[in-house]
Amino acid sequence: MTTTPAHIEYVTRLGDNALILGQRMSEWCGHAPVLEEDMALANMSLDLIGQARMLLTHAGKLEGKGRDEDQLAFLRTEMHYRNLTLCELPNVDFGRTMVRNFLFASLQVLLWERLLASSDTELAAIAAKSLKEARYHAQHAGDWVVRLGDGTAESHERAQAALDYLWPYTAEFFAANPTDEAIAAAGIGPAWSELEAAWEAVVVPVLNEATLTVPARTPFKSYGKFGRHSEHLGHLLSEMQYLQRTYPGAQW
Amino acid sequence: MLTETQAWDVLHAVPDPEIPVISVTELGIVREVHARDGGLHIVVTPTYSGCPATEVIAQSIRDALVAAGAGEVDVETRLAPAWTTAWITEPAKEKLRAYGIAPPSGDAAVGGAQPIRFVPRKLACPRCGSTDTTRLSQFGSTACKALYRCQSCLEPFEYFKPI
Ligand SMILES: [Zn+2]
């Protein structure tokens, strides 16, 4: 298989999604509402960072310029990141964190299932491993979305506000540019049009059970996966990359 | 130099760093052992992507084999097929139970449509055997375990989740 720029771009997006959400979720360490959820969030964050390590290592090999996982994670600036905007948004509260995890993990489960059949065998191997983890993440977050949405007046209100805020960013999951078309044509990944209906079929029944109102689609568009990010990514990177920027090449 | 059989014997005694009552072979992460000129080639399949023990495990495998006189040891990490709790041996499951960790049972979390209002399985308490137990958290001290509490003996315990 000859490596195309689209292939590198696609694997980088998958790695960046895992890395940036993993970093965001790790901010809860020591701050979650209860100890059990503090541990759950830290563990899921570790799963995502582990997935990011495999994906970025793979992207670096595909690129063939000698960049490893660390160089890709710590030495790129915002415009070179390809994560979904949803992953970089601030946590704000536990409700928004759980709604985001649910929307994202539900996508990941479906995506990893399809990537088991990727023509990129390394990516298929990473998918098989990540799928097992994503299923537990989706179950954990889905459980909380129902508990919060169908909970007290306060938890319902905050879960609904979180859903209203995050929902417009999910349109980006299914946006396609020539990269996505090349990936689908090469059998590396699924077409997003097929995934959108499958994702809604999983997500909407849970939101209904949670007594939450699914917002209508709006013309709002975000473009993180095409390299145009919100203001939040730069702040996240400045913290995540601080050590390598201050002491270039530091190892321990 | 060690033969492959001797190398397996050494590895049977290398403990998992998180759960020292079982060995790395009982956990099912050592997939292949090959003797080659001047040393050994070991194939390892890690458990969870983010498992912090992965590097420690590779190092302890290397150290144990070198100490036993294996010569040069290289450890290859192989992703596919992905590690599954089905590779944990039956005797190891008993050791887990005796150590206070409920061993993996039943099916892993399923894909596609998740059951809404998922009701966790009733597990037997590894201490007193009572099935009057409740799940406190889907994630315990490590990603591979969930946290439960026994309502009979009132002790908390961990459950090694099936994946
Ligand atoms: Zn008990």
Encode pLDDT of B59-77 as tens digits. 999 999 999 999 999 999 9
Q: Does the beta-carbon distance from B108 to A209 stay under 8 Å?
A: no
Residue B5 CA to chain centroid, in angstroms?
A: 22
The C-alpha of A45 sits at a distance from chain B's nearest C-alpha, in angstroms, of 8
Q: Is residue A172, in this structure, part of any structural domain at all?
A: yes
Give contacts of B 44-103 with A, CB under 8 A: 48-52, 79-84
Mean pLDDT of A194-215: 96
**Residue A14 is part of a domain; what is its CATH number?**
1.20.1260.10
Average pLDDT over chain B, rounded to an integer:
88
Whether the ipTM is more than 0.90: the answer is no
pLDDT at A104: 98
Residue-wise pLDDT for B76-91, tens only, equals 999 999 999 999 999 9
Q: Is residue A40, in this structure, part of any structural domain at all?
A: yes
**DSSP class of B15:** B
pLDDT at B120: 66
Q: Do the beta carbons of residue B12 and residue B23 sit within 8 Å?
A: yes
Which pLDDT band holds residue B100 (cuts at 50, 70, 90)? very high
Q: Does the beta-carbon distance from B116 to A205 stay under 8 Å?
A: yes
Burial of B113 (0-12, 13-18, 19+ CB in 10 A): exposed
Cα nearest neighbour of A110 on chain B: B112
- Nearest CB to A129 within list B49, B117, B147: B49
Q: What spatial distance separates the first Cα and last Cα of chain B, rounded to whole Å? A: 37
pLDDT at B17: 87
Q: Is residue A162, in this structure, part of any structural domain at all?
A: yes
Q: Is residue A163, in this structure, part of any structural domain at all?
A: yes
Using a CB–CB cutoff of 8 Å, tell me whether A101 touches chain B: no
Higher local confidence (pLDDT), B48 or A143: A143
Q: Does the beta-carbon distance from B143 to A133 stay under 8 Å?
A: yes
Residue-wise pLDDT for B107-150, tens only, equals 665 554 455 666 666 789 999 999 999 988 888 888 888 999 99
CA of B130 to the centre of ligand 1 (A): 5
pLDDT at B78: 92
Residue-wise pLDDT for A25-35, tens only, equals 999 999 999 99
pLDDT at A175: 96
pLDDT at B110: 55
Mean pLDDT of A130-140: 93
Using a CB–CB cutoff of 8 Å, tell me whether B119 touches chain A: no
Q: With 80 as the cut, is the pLDDT of residue B6 above it?
A: yes
Q: Is residue A252, in this structure, part of any structural domain at all?
A: no
Close Cβ partners of B42 (under 8 Å, ≥ 6 residues apart): B7, B11, B30, B32, B33, B34, B61, B65, B73, B74, B75, B76
Mean pLDDT of A70-76: 96
The C-alpha of A199 sits at a distance from chain B's nearest C-alpha, in angstroms, of 9
Percent of chain A with pLDDT over 90: 96
Q: Does the beta-carbon distance from B138 to A129 stay under 8 Å?
A: no
Q: Does the beta-carbon distance from A54 to B143 stay under 8 Å?
A: no
Domain that holds residue A232: 5-246
Contacts of B148 in chain A (CB under 8 A): none
Which pLDDT band holds residue B49 (cuts at 50, 70, 90)? confident
Which pLDDT band holds residue A63 (cuts at 50, 70, 90)? very high
CATH of domain B4-77: 3.30.300.130
Distance between CA atoms of A76 and A82, rounded to whole angstroms?
A: 11
